[in-house]
Amino acid sequence: MTETLVLDDPAEECAKRLVAAVEAGGHIALTGGGTPKACYQRAAEMGADWSGATLWFGDDRCVPPDDERSNYRMAKEALFDRLPAPDGGGPVVKRILAERGPHAGAEDYERELRETLGEELPRLDMVMLGLGPDAHVASLFPGQSTLEVRDRLAVGVEEAGFEPYVPRVSVTLPVINSARQVIFLVAGEEKSDAVVRAFGGEPTPDAPGSLVRPTDGELILLLDQPAASRLSGLPE
């Protein structure tokens, strides 16, 4: 099932849905990139109880966690550091140890996912995603062999297909597609082609976003008008 909303302020809607998943005590994978920052900042101000939630990451860059390119650092500054001092504890944060390098970092994260959620394919409650102008998602880039990986939960990406050009660690498509809810937050005219390629056509490895189709979960697209401007007809 796909729900598509074209909104003046998709970050606000995304923050509300993130907070709902948090209050339900969910396992949630956060996304990196610039777009979700406003969503995280607003979610932090919504007065929710974060203590039951476990926050994962869909990907990170292989840099130290205090590097300005780190997705963890962005989420920490926009979200974790803004949560009111918790009485009963804040959320559990499962950071990707990407500074260990793409392959060791991926092995670590896969182990962490299995230890926490069981040996089988984990079912995250919510996976948040952005969409690159080249239609990449997490750190799964167009045409890369990582898109074909079915037997791993996380992969090392030696060459990023988009800036910043540092190696990455990314969860795989099976992890994304087994989630109960996958929620895309996409804003800006520069994403409008990618939106059409990801959501308005046939699945293709040239547009990794088009391969995100939850097998037994919901796909939610939160778009602003410029990002949705070239989409003719909303996906079903």
Q: How far is the CB of 161 from ligand 6PG (least distance, A)?
A: 10
Contact 182, 214 (CB under 8 A): yes
Sign of CA dihedral 213, 179, 16, 190: negative
33 forms part of the interface with ligand 6PG (CB under 6 A): yes
In the shown chain, the binding pattern of residues 3 to 32 toward ligand 6PG, with x for contact by CB under 6 A and - for none, equals ----------------------------xx
Q: Dihedral (C-alpha) 158, 159, 162, 163: value to the nearest 10 degrees? A: 80
Instruction: Give min distance, CB of 51 to ligand 6PG, in A.
Output: 26
Min dist CB 208 to ligand 6PG, Å, is 9
- CB 78 to ligand 6PG: min, Å: 12
DSSP state of 197: H
If one asks whether residue 35 binds ligand 6PG (CB under 6 A), the answer comes out as: yes
Q: Please list every residue from 41 through 70 that binds ligand 6PG, using CB under 6 A.
A: 58-59
136 binds ligand 6PG (CB under 6 A): yes
Note every long-range contact of 119-123, with CB atoms under 8 Å and residues 24 or more positions apart, other chains counting: 121/153, 121/174, 121/175, 121/178, 122/27, 122/153, 122/175, 122/178, 123/178, 123/179, 123/180
Binding residues for ligand 6PG, rule: CB under 6 A, are 31-35, 58-59, 71, 130-132, 136-139
